[in-house]
Structure 1
Amino acid sequence: MPVLRAPEVRRPGRGDPAVGHRQAAPPPDARAVRRRRGPDGRRAMSEIVFLFPGQGAQHPGMARELFGREPVFTEILEEFFELLDGEGKRLRDDWLTDDPAVPLDEGRRAQPLLFILGYALARTLETRGVRPGVLLGHSIGELAAAAFAGVFDLPAAARLMEARSLALDGSPSGGMLAVGATPEELTRFVDPPGRPGGVVVGAVNAPRQTVLAGPEPRLGEVERALEDAGTPGRRVPALQAFHSPAMAEAAEVFTAAFAKEELRRPSLRIQSTRTARAVRPDEATDPGFWAGQVAGAVLFWPALEALLAEGDFTLVEVGPGRRLSTPARRHPAVRSGRSTVIPMLPSTAEGTWEFWTAALDALDALP
């Protein structure tokens, strides 16, 4: 398939004639935003939280309908691709085509794209007056959160994404397996921490949504053992064993790249999915803190739970799909209506613009 070329950048209205008047219904939580009003007509919601998704959220055509239509989004993407030089053109082409030279599930494609899409969406919302008080990112999404909070700038981010891709080149073949069970229930299937070539808990996304990670062939052995025990898993779209000891060498290479950059304290609170608490100032300037997460477990649910225990929030997912919105909606604070979830993009390429504008309407309804 030929590469899709971006149309001329223009500033659209809500009923952009290029795509017709919006007919798609707003996301369910958008309607909830409008309903939940106090006596004075304003809604009591303390802060907005931007959720940045990671590996597994990628899909063909993600966010492409915004490219060329949302000026800030487009400008940031083009700047990032230019900063990556020749690799940026290849990354851009693979994103804009339906037949990429490098599969989007490959970390060298998924990771930089997820990073810059999350960052660009967050900046676009910021220019529209949607300003978060807290950032929470999953895997590569935590680096997007760090960039948005000013820990490093966009040129540094481009260099770091190049270094991350190079670090992945030497990593062993592996993957990730999502299992509907608690980490405790999976103890007998995983290997002792630190075992070379072992399978470990790579992410805790919800109370009964655990991701195992490790290299092949060991991951395949664990997958078959789970099937035999009546607890089948589902492969996460990833071709590397992220968040497992198999990525230790990649983390070392990545740490060296981070050490060359100027790291600053974040301007916003980052609720880290590595520690399940706010990033401390000394951690923010530590290269190993950011680089080491590629080999460490992602504690999304513990981080979210600790945050929502503090009060009511509007959780806005700034990335493709609903990878973080879906588990967040299961949290008691959201199910009770105290907190709200608004995903900004759908899980498929179709209807992206309509979904985006409906989500913007939901955000416009916030006080």
Structure 2
Amino acid sequence: MTGTAGALPVALLLPGQGSQHRRMAAGLYGHEPVFTEAMDEFFDAAGPEGDPLRDDWLAERPVTDIDHVTRSQPLLFAVDHALGRLVLGRGVRPAALLGHSIGELAAATLAGVFAPRDAAGLVLDRIRRLSAAPPGGMLAVAASTAEVAPYLRGDVVVGAVNAPRQTVLAGPDGPLDEVDRALREAGFVCRRVPSLSAFHSPVLEPACRGAAPLFAAACKHPPAVPVHSAYTAAPLTESDIDDPAFWARQPVAPVLFWPALEGLLATGDHLLVEVGPGQGLSQLVRRHPAVRRGGSAVVSLLPARPGPPEADRAAVAAATEQITAAGRQAAPASADHGRPSRQAAAG
């Protein structure tokens, strides 16, 4: 944990594309009942696709690459949501949620906007559409959006604003390779994001057409916990929630993670708990002035890198102790098995 938290309100951070890795959080499966139940609910809701998803998630050598959209997106959603349920089941009452990319849909589900089974159907429909999209990729650049702007070409766009000098570009493979070379030659530090698709770019626009009716048909509810959207950099509004196009276009729209984080921390200091694979969001938020001055603090639920199964369990135990030390584990695990409720979310 970074800084001294005191009795800070908790904000859960749910990561997205690029944070996935083989067997992410699998060390908790069969050991953490709430997490296991949530994962099994997702695989059951996935129907015939559920068993292959579970098998590839648990495999050391999955049949389908974990970076492929048919694995990264559904498994990130499921793991984020299940980890959020685990934290709720520990009695933690978050004051806010903030998701990155597919993490926003997981955050909305955790907040009760979508029922988990409905959300699973929405995710599976999304990946069926996106799997037909042209190949592409994503590139993280240690630069501001203004610095990278002169180098953009050939449908390569800013896909995510992760920090003032941490920008992610997205686009077709060929043009993205050209931009990558040009930026490196200019002295910028670049790193390919683990993704076989150009998320948050116009490349995915045709694949997302036709997705809105399913979102329109889904039953939606006001969030039990404020969800700070990384697409509007503001809390989800009733009009956002009710707008099918808002959800359907998320794979195309840029992720404004840093502006959304700024909006969240403008409401006051928080204990920022990353509930997802890796510690990518934790590394980003540690750069924020509110964290650097010690007002806000950071806890990561899982290890920074893939490791043996017991590493996942040890990380969760350590994170639970840190949250407890911050004065935010307010109650024992409740009978709702980590499901969100208006009462549990009000703290």
Q: Common fold, TM-score beyond 0.5?
A: yes
- Taking the aligned partners of 1:255 and 1:76, their CA distance within structure 2 comes to 26
In structure 2, the residue matched to 1:167 is 129
Q: Which moved more, 1:181-190 or 1:306-315?
A: 306-315
- Taking the aligned partners of 2:55 and 2:83, their CA distance within structure 1 comes to 20
In structure 2, the residue matched to 1:126 is 88
- 1:265, CA displacement in angstroms? 2.1
- Count matched residues: 324
Q: Does 1:361 align with 2:321?
A: yes
In structure 2, the residue matched to 1:230 is 187
Which consecutive segments of 4 or more residues in structure 1 shift more than 4 A?
A: none
- Taking the aligned partners of 2:187 and 2:35, their CA distance within structure 1 comes to 45
- Taking the aligned partners of 2:42 and 2:171, their CA distance within structure 1 comes to 31
- Give unmatched runs, 5+ long, in structure 1: 1-27, 37-42, 192-196
Q: What does 1:1-367 align with in structure 2 at a 5 Å threshold?
A: 28-29=1-2, 32-33=3-4, 43-45=6-8, 47-191=9-153, 198-347=155-304, 348-350=306-308, 351-367=311-327
Deviations 1:176-231 (A, max 9, x none): 0000000000111114xxxxx50000001011100000112111111111122222
Contact 1:60 1:349 in 2 (8 A): no
- Taking the aligned partners of 1:221 and 1:200, their CA distance within structure 2 comes to 13
Deviations 1:316-335 (A, max 9, x none): 10101111000100111001
Give the 3-state SS of the residue equivalent to 1:211 in structure 2. strand
Paired AA for residue 53 in structure 1: P
- 1:232, CA displacement in angstroms? 4.0
Deviations 1:270-328 (A, max 9, x none): 11100111111111111111121110110001110121122110101010111100010
- Give unmatched runs, 5+ long, in structure 2: 328-347
Paired AA for residue 346 in structure 1: P
In structure 2, the residue matched to 1:12 is none
TM-score normalised per structure 1: 0.86
TM-score normalised per structure 2: 0.91
Whose radius of gyration is greater, 1 or 2?
Answer: 1
